Amino acid sequence: MRASTSSLKSKDLLGIEALLPDEIELILDTAEGFKEVSERPVKKVPALRGQLVINLFMEASTRTRVSFEIAEKRLSADTLNFTASGSSVEKGETLIDTAENLVAMHPDMIVIRAKHPGAPKMLADRLPNVSIINAGDGSHEHPTQALLDAFTIRERLGRLAGVNVSIIGDIAHSRVVRSNIHLLTKMQANVTVAAPPTLIPAEIEKLGVRVVHALDEAVADADVIMMLRIQLERQGKLSFPSLREYYNTFGLTPERLARANSNAIIMHPGPMNRGVEIASDVADDPRRSVILEQVTNGVAVRMAVLYLLGGAHNVE
Ligand code: CP
């Protein structure tokens, strides 16, 4: 296989907001080429042989951390996983001191998940010789999640332009929604966000989305229904009376799904709160749910991002 030799204009991937549509297209096309590597008996190409990637996870993760590590191994990179727990962060060492010490050991790329919005940009500015990849920073951006979501939509529906995407849930605290809005609007998709008013940030319409406050209205003409988790860890107190009431008004149940476009696909970035934003019967619906396809596609998309930033051109 020979992936594109074009490159991204920045040394880092900090968010979708700064990407051009043709860079998004390049990542998705490159990921399409990489997807079959994971289906081979020997799931490996030598693209990043000799490169060291550090996965610096300062906040909990299952999908993103594992997916990046698998992507790095499939590209033959050396990988090192660093978590705050058990490190000198517990003795008070700052993020920048931690990163500068890691960089002293000559990694080529750092994948960072951080609690604080802007932490990946701070590292990118301070560390000119290393590529920084944002794996989710607070409620700011989660660019590789939006890219894998777009890849999945494009694979299922054949295009992004003109597709009606409804994103339902905790819009106020979600980095996934912010990256998805940037990506989908750049690619000419139509985006609706739906939640109780207390979970919609002020002036979100300025990002080019339609805002509704009823689930039935959001799903009526949607080609893609993307459900988001209520981020209890980022809310001081519940922004609605109770989880049961939330499920009764904004939970995607089989009955509500029956009123949606019969071909609409169901997405969720995970982790899911079953019985809060989505019913198990919907999440596990083999015809409509593409939730595990999103996870599969995450590896190919992250391989593409690592490959394009790593500047390797020797994929066989
Ligand atoms: N979608 C996502 O970011 O999941 P994790 O928090 O498990 O990485």
The pTM is what?
Answer: 0.95
Q: With a 6 A CB cut-off, is 6 part of the ligand 1 pocket?
A: no
Between residues 135 and 4, the one the model is more confident about: 135
What pLDDT is recorded for position 231? 81
Backbone φ, ψ for residue 274 (5° rounding): -65, 135
What pLDDT is recorded for position 241? 77
- What is the average per-residue pLDDT within 55-75? 97
Helix (H) or strand (E) holding 119: helix 119-126
What's the gap in Å between 314 CA and the centre of ligand 1?
A: 30
Give 208-217's long-range contacts (Cβ < 8 A, gap of 24+): 208/181, 209/181, 209/185, 215/168, 215/249, 215/250, 215/251, 215/252, 215/256, 216/256, 216/259
Q: With a 6 A CB cut-off, is 55 part of the ligand 1 pocket?
A: no
What pLDDT is recorded for position 239? 73
Task: Specify the range with the lowest mean pLDDT, choosing from 4-18, 102-116, 168-182.
Answer: 4-18
Per the omega criterion (within 30 degrees of 0), is the bond before 120 cis?
no
Q: Which residue has the tokens 């991204």?
A: 8
What's the gap in Å between 145 CA and the centre of ligand 1?
A: 8
- What is the average per-residue pLDDT within 148-159? 98
What pLDDT is recorded for position 7? 82
Q: With a 6 A CB cut-off, is 231 part of the ligand 1 pocket?
A: no
pLDDT above 90: percentage of residues in the chain: 91
- What is the average per-residue pLDDT within 66-78? 98
